[in-house]
Structure 1
Amino acid sequence: MTNDPDLAPDCRVLEAFVFRIGLFLLTNLAVVIIASLTLNILGVGSYLDESGAGLNLTSLLIFCAVFGFSGSLVSLFISKWMAKRSTGTEVIERPSTPQEHWLVETVAELAQKAGIDMPEVGVFPAQQANAFATGRNKNAALVAVSQGMLDRFSQQEIRAVLGHEIGHVANGDMVTLALVQGVVNTFVMFFARIIGHTVDRVVFKTERGHGLGYYIATFVAEIILAFLANMIVAWFSRKREFRADYAGATLVSPAAMIDALRRLQAETQQQVPNQMPDTLTAFGITSGFSSKLMAAFATHPPLAERIRVLQAL
């Protein structure tokens, strides 16, 4: 690691890039290993029928489900470790400042109210006001806030944001979203392979096995179907945000939750980009500025709408 302050930012960028590439490769290797072992246990080999001319839809569905759920479940189980590394979150093991003491005590109080085990508490070095919760289950979670939020928000506003994140944990949103993603992955793979098989037979006239047309058509179909499927996942994610806002209002107070969202709204209008990795955006208090054209793919409802819903309670 270099001590030159002018080179340090470049080194951090390179470190982050190498980490993401390594994580991508390791995650996919884990998925392939787990899926292959599971398919062997289930006795599922080829999803072509015995003649090699048609598809065995049962075998194909099992194949797609194993790979579809393996990816989302592996991501779920490493979510805390991945979050800490990708955001630079420092977990507060032993509070050493009044701010850290207050943060840990507040999370402990809200977790007790919500009926969950004490999560790990951390701070990540982003100037964007944000927070997130993640973990493989509600009793093994991580709740973290950005340094920017700690610097600029009042304690009552931060309490409300922490209540929102504890709400995500108590509602089991991390597990539920992983399962939804697994279902979506399964059917994207399933229908893409049916489309690829049909194109290979009808257009490329392949009679047995699979030719080049199958792989090209399947690849294109997966891209298109995954693009459309992301709208379903995003819609579900937006619904979770209303429930988490309600949890923040219940655990702290509606007024504090509304004030926190208004403060976020004021900062978001400055069009500050989201500084969290895409894998964690859905679990943040806000996704940052996003264009109206991409509303169908947004993981969070507009802050103005969230405020209106709370005001109507």
Structure 2
Amino acid sequence: MKRIFLFLATNLAIIVVLSITLRLLGVERILDEQGVGLDMNALLIFAAVFGFGGAFISLAISKWMAKKTTGAKVIEQPSNETERWLVDTVRRQAQMAGIGMPEVAIFPSQAPNAFATGMNRNKSLVAVSSGLLQNMNKDEVEAVLGHEVSHVANGDMVTLTLIQGVVNTFVIFLSRVIGHTVDRVVFKNERGHGPAFWITAIIAEIVLGILASAIVLWFSRQREFRADSGGARLAGREKMIAALERLKQGQAEVELPDQLAAFGINGGVRQGIKKLFMSHPPLDERIQALRRTS
């Protein structure tokens, strides 16, 4: 879904900007051990603080970022029957799931899509695209809403943040170890850290951050099965299956652009190594998983 893409992109940007800023300010000098090497204990603490800090900053601004980047408009007062039904359905499902009433929004997009985000399960945001409302019937939209409410109730964004924090910690730690090694072995810098350390560490951080996103996206794929089950409980299994079947039909008719397909509710079709970077399992697998449940 969009929330995963926004979270990952924001997190990586924050980590890179923090790293550059701290290097320019000279803060990373605390990692030097008497000017001859890396202080591994200090480096690990540094990596954990800024790794988890970047992840939680991303989470804190996730709802604001989602609204700004998608153009989602929160329904303050329903202006028509569709908006009234959306708000009432989300309210009923939120009560069933035991969470606070989320904000409900609609964002402009011809692709059938939806997302949920927010750092607090009692102050979240659930948004659907205009294309989803146009292409699905009420039963199918109800199932999609149940899926999104389940993401909130399951605390997926908070868990995702914790996993991202761990991943960030290792990315920051390893990138500086790589930078230190290149600085010493390739450029023969025997004391302190020269430009090669800084440049190599930043490049390694970006590359490792992209590769590490595969771990977070693996988690995202597993949570989709759980959210589908939650949507089935809140709206009905047959409605959830019908919604996924509808998405499958739309997927076959109009392939979404890469930046949307990989992270929207309709996850798109991927083959080979690209499947490692899918935020959603294939729709056929999700449908089969629901059909196996009693």
Shifted more, 215-224 versus 62-71: the winner is 215-224
2:98·2:153 contact (CA, 8 Å) conserved in 1? yes
Alpha-carbon displacement from aligned partner over 1:135-172 (angstroms, at most 9, x marks no partner): 11100100011111111101010110000000000000
Query: Are 1:85 and 2:68 counterparts?
Result: yes
Of 195, 208, 230 in structure 1, the residue corresponding to residue 191 of structure 2 is 208
Aligned match of 2:147 in 164, 168, 184? 164
Task: Evaluate the alpha carbon distance shift between residue 301 and residue 293 of structure 1 in structure 2; reply closer, same or farther with a 3 A threshold.
Answer: same
1:294 aligns with 2:294: no
Which residue among 32, 36, 45 is the counterpart of 1:48? 32
Q: CA deviation at 1:44?
A: 8.7
What pairs with 1:1-313 in structure 2 (closer than 5 Å)? 28=14, 32=18, 46-49=30-33, 51-274=34-257, 282=263, 284-313=264-293
Calculate percent identity across the aligned residue pairs: 53
After the TM superposition, which segments of 4 or more aligned residues of structure 1 sit over 6 Å from their partners? 275-278
CA contact (8 A) 1:119 1:141 kept: yes
**Greater relative CO (CA pairs within 8 A, separation 6+):** 2
Secondary structure of the corresponding residue to residue 140 of structure 1: coil
Note if contact 1:76-1:174 (Cα within 8 Å) is conserved in structure 2: yes
Check whether the contact 2:107–2:128 (CA below 8 A) recurs between aligned residues: yes
C-alpha distance in structure 1 between counterparts of 2:277 and 2:213, whole Å: 7
Alpha-carbon distance between aligned partners in 2 of 1:255 and 1:137, rounded to the nearest angstrom? 30
C-alpha root-mean-square deviation of aligned residues, in Å?
Answer: 2.6
1:126–1:275 contact (8 Å) kept in structure 2: no
Whole-Å separation in 2 of the counterparts to 1:275 and 1:163: 26
Name the residue aligned to 1:8.
Answer: none
- Aligned-pair distance for 1:287? 2.9
Q: Compute the displacement of 1:84 (Å).
A: 1.0
Query: How far, CA to CA, are the matches of 1:276 and 1:148 in structure 2?
Result: 17
1:144 match: secondary structure: strand
Q: Is the 8 A contact 1:199 1:217 kept in 2?
A: yes
For residues 27-75 of structure 1, the C-alpha deviation after alignment (integer angstroms, 9 at most, x for no partner) is 849x749x97xxxxxx9961111x2111111111121222222222112
The answer to whether the 8 Å contact 1:128/1:274 transfers is: no
Instruction: Give the match's secondary structure for 2:30.
Output: coil
Give a deviation string over 1:107-128, Cα, whole Å, max 9, x none: 0000000000000001111010
1:224–1:273: structure 2 CA closer, same or farther, 3 Å change rule?
same
Name the SS for the 1:269 alignment partner. Answer: helix
Aligned length: 278
* Mapped contact 1:44–1:59 kept (Cα < 8 A): no
Q: TM-score, normalised by structure 1?
A: 0.82
Shift of residue 271, structure 1, vs aligned partner: 4.1
Contact 1:165 1:285 in 2 (8 A): no
Q: Sort the Cα spacing of 1:308 and 1:271 in 2 relative to 1 into closer, same or farther, 3 A.
A: same
Q: What's the secondary structure of 1:286's corresponding residue?
A: coil
Structure-2 separation of matches of 1:264 and 1:110: 21
In 2, are the aligned partners of 1:238 and 1:300 still within 8 Å (CA)?
Answer: yes
Cα distance, 1:233 vs structure 2: 1.0
Contact 1:87 1:277 in 2 (8 A): no
Does structure 2 conserve the Cα–Cα contact (< 8 Å) formed by 1:248 and 1:257? yes
Q: Which residue of 2 aligns with 1:6?
A: none
Q: Distance in 2 between matches of 1:90 and 1:194?
A: 45
